[in-house]
Structure 1
């Protein structure tokens, strides 16, 4: 367990790393006894600084490390969550400047849920999630890590707001009650070439709905609801892709739609 002073020190360090676009040494190496609960306390401190100092507003949550492909790539073998703020939104018509906004970016295609009702765990079921969802859209999450060279353990990525960077929502929407989200297919292209494919069942071995169930119930333990109007990123169905200026990525999801993101 970390002391309150250590938690605040790490939160400040990660905030400064975010703003200065600098990497820091893994927290888990420096404090091997750090727990996941400690890491979520650090993440809360980081979020508080973004809200108080920069005026950012929470508009949703994200689930990370949900597919075996990403677990294997990062060496992290359990899901986590982070907060989405209004400063993280990229519009479909915009390019995302990697050179001025990010450190070591990777992009992933996902299904985003937009809620019309609150979800408050514990006890949330898949039926509850579908009932509370207004619509789903294709999206990109462009993750980033303030931890040096992505040498992360679960405590590091949780502390770093689940390695959040930016996200982009597609303009095409679908009713999840009209789809089998465990079988929907995803195709991701980089600069016109298919680089990965996936299916909904890649998400926690079941469905993106299962990821939102996990999130609602996990956050419920912390007394945090998923709120009506919030965006919930349900986790990648495909491997993360390192991106660089000049790249163009698109994602197509069967029954939902397509979106794309350009990097400069």
Structure 2
């Protein structure tokens, strides 16, 4: 399957089951609404109320996001197993898989995060930021130059690590979906073998185009969100779920290119 066909399939895939798109959208709306509730406590100037509610809504938001992550994983799983139908929701199973994906994601990104922090310390980014705060925003030429160099270095290192780890983690999660065990997500020899079978060129082009498509749709969502109430509802209820399904489907399809 050509890369263009992968994205075409991914974008049309959600239309096969609008019911599940809307269910996923409702979960997305709830996850966003509960995050607004603590603001009520702040407005009422009630610290106790805010603390209790924040704890509750954080738990609710986490559970819902685990469901969304788990459901996205089920789409990848169906796809890598050559099942073209959109999976139904299985809340219990979705939560369990969501937890697994969360753990895999943490395991993948914790080392790059630590490296980025160490680079920030080594380049003096934190120290420069502290000096900026202490000076009350008064920046000397020397401090300004040091800030630019340190933060630019940290940004470049962070972006490079993010891209590399994401490329590996994406195939790792797809391998987990195919093999059924979390260990498969960390079999780096097999992961690099799979990427080689897909073709590094094809995989990188797919990744770049995926980012561009998500950026464009995200920009459109931003414009729609400018429409009071209705725009936000449309974005959360329809566009965001389509993006989740599209990304998961496209991930499964690029993974299957190893068999081509």
Could you state the TM-score of these two structures normalised by the residue count of structure 1? Answer: 0.26
Ranked by relative contact order (alpha carbons within 8 Å, sequence separation 6 or more), the top structure is 2
Question: Quick check: which one's helix share is greater?
Answer: 2
TM-score where L is the length of structure 2: 0.26
Structure with greater strand share of residues: 1
Give the number of the structure whose alpha-carbon radius of gyration is greater: 2
